[in-house]
Structure 1
Amino acid sequence: MDVIGEGRAEPVVVERAAGVGGELVLRRAGADYEIISNGTFLMDTRNGESERLLVRAAVDAALAQDEDGGGAGGGGARVLIGGLGVGFSLAEALAHPAVGHVTVVEREPAVVGWHAGPLRPWSRGGLDDPRVTLVRADLLDVLERPAGGVFDAVCLDIDNGPHWTVTPGNARLYGPVGLDLLAALLSARGVLAVWSAGAAPGFGDLLVSRFARVEELPVPVPRGEPDMVYLARRP
């Protein structure tokens, strides 16, 4: 039995896995699933509004660059998603009519495997889409040895935010060196989008020091402070 009072579901462990960054746990809570990393709640399938906005806003901003004369984007938009998670971002990218190709970087084999099973409905089977390339690697390794060309939207959702990383090494992504590496992946119309579970003080200022236009988009959530999506684009 996994249902307790007030309509809340008591989580039941579906699988434990030894991941690259430590222990990963997939839990089921009623009709939804949760991913726990080293004992810390990472994400679940309950909403996904801010994860969808992460991708949609980035792609739309890249297309707007063409309209403003900021880039000539022939062909479908190329999107890089850092972190497969429960699949909201991938599903949103594939549903966008302007997206031609999506590269997903995910370092945890267990997460990839769960999308062939219980998490498949939330990614809508996106890993089987011919427009998708899955890179099983740490995003930092990909940034330091780029080989996939440039992207019109680079969307990061591999941590709980710039100040709340899943593993300590990820902090480099949100500092000067990491942002310079991310900027190097962007096309002329490229947009960087970063998801955060709440505001990340000082992160917006760091983006402003490297990008011409920066937006902070709060997304209300059922409990607690709003999620935040940071958008940074070229001139």
Structure 2
Amino acid sequence: MEYVEIARTESERGELVLRERRPESGPASLELRANGVFVMDTLETSTEHALAESALAQVEDPRAVVVGGLGLGFTMHAVLADSRVEKVAVVEIEQALVDWMRDGTVPQGPALLADERVTVVVADIAVALAEAAPASYDLVLLDVDNGPGYLVHDTNAVLYREPFLEAARDVLRPGGVLAIWSAAEAPDLEETLGRVFDEAGAHRYDVLLQDREEEYWLYVARVPSTP
């Protein structure tokens, strides 16, 4: 296996690297790493699609959606594939990652960001939701980590605590949903969601990743359909 660095940047959160994996046989793929930790790649995207599709299935009319975390664009792409969606606000804290998507460093990036339904906001998701208008979205998808047990940055721990979850609740319309993807069962998160929302629960998904059986969790919290 050969690895070729495509792009690198440094921010206050550390190092972000985009590199290409070139196997001896088979297609090359891009891999995103933060501070040396694998985040995602373009080879195995089933979890990103599962997050979006499972979350969208929880909402009767998901016209306006927030995606927390741009990554390599696959969660956003799956959201845009739903014809019910009229606008998607993607909140990404790393400007360089947005730039790599826009300038074609990530090949599928320009086409995805050209969709007129997409608005990209370069900000901390906690700040963005705190500043958003109340009751303005039908669905908030949190895809900045693989759950509270697998933080990309330690500061992301605040995203699984009551103040942030309350901010997410406040931007949701009646019947709106907050969906959080987790690579492991997170009972503390489910308990916290239950204190903030009237309705919260966990859904387990069995996923086959490169011939490995993995177990993932989607934590869903819902605002009542009527006040």
TM-score (norm 2): 0.86
Residues 6-61 of structure 1: per-residue CA shift (max 9 Å, x gap): xxx33221111113421100011132111111111111112222211222222221
Is the Cα–Cα contact under 8 Å of residues 20 and 107 in structure 1 kept in the other structure? no
Equivalent positions of 1:11-26 (< 5 A) are: 11-26=3-18
In structure 1, runs of 5+ residues without a counterpart are 1-8, 64-72
Secondary structure of the structure 2 residue equivalent to 1:204: helix
- Paired amino acid for 1:22: G
Q: Does 1:36 align with 2:16?
A: no
1:120 and 1:28 map into 2 onto residues whose CA distance is 12
1:20 and 1:81 map into 2 onto residues whose CA distance is 22
- Paired amino acid for 2:72: V
- Paired amino acid for 1:109: Q
- Paired amino acid for 1:59: L
Is the Cα–Cα contact under 8 Å of residues 91 and 121 in structure 2 kept in the other structure? yes
Identity among equivalent positions (%) equals: 38
Secondary structure of the structure 1 residue equivalent to 2:80: helix
- Paired amino acid for 2:82: H
Secondary structure of the structure 2 residue equivalent to 1:184: helix
- Paired amino acid for 2:7: E
- Indicate the larger mover: 146-155 or 44-53: 146-155
Secondary structure of the structure 1 residue equivalent to 2:57: helix
User: Matched residue pairs, number?
Assistant: 215
Q: Does 1:48 align with 2:45?
A: yes
Is the Cα–Cα contact under 8 Å of residues 204 and 216 in structure 1 kept in the other structure? no
- The residue that corresponds to 1:218 in the other structure is 205
Q: Does 1:227 align with 2:224?
A: no
Is the Cα–Cα contact under 8 Å of residues 214 and 233 in structure 1 kept in the other structure? no
Secondary structure of the structure 1 residue equivalent to 2:86: strand
Residues 105-134 of structure 1: per-residue CA shift (max 9 Å, x gap): 01111111221314232x572211111111
Larger relative contact order, structure 1 or 2 (CA cutoff 8 Å, min sep 6): 1
- The residue that corresponds to 1:10 in the other structure is 2
- The residue that corresponds to 2:184 in the other structure is 198
2:5 and 2:48 map into 1 onto residues whose CA distance is 24
Secondary structure of the structure 1 residue equivalent to 2:66: strand
In structure 2, runs of 5+ residues without a counterpart are 23-27
- The residue that corresponds to 1:161 in the other structure is 147
The 3 A distance-change label for structure 1 pair 124 and 190 is farther
Is the Cα–Cα contact under 8 Å of residues 87 and 119 in structure 1 kept in the other structure? no
1:77 Cα deviation from its structure 2 partner: 0.9
1:209 Cα deviation from its structure 2 partner: 2.6
Is the Cα–Cα contact under 8 Å of residues 59 and 152 in structure 1 kept in the other structure? no
1:218 and 1:57 map into 2 onto residues whose CA distance is 10
1:60 and 1:83 map into 2 onto residues whose CA distance is 20
- Indicate the larger mover: 42-51 or 221-230: 221-230
- Indicate the larger mover: 38-47 or 203-212: 203-212
Alignment match of 1:105 (pick from 59, 82, 91)? 91
TM-score (norm 1): 0.83
1:86 Cα deviation from its structure 2 partner: 1.0
Residues 38-93 of structure 1: per-residue CA shift (max 9 Å, x gap): 11111111222221122222222111xxxxxxxxx5xx610000000011111111
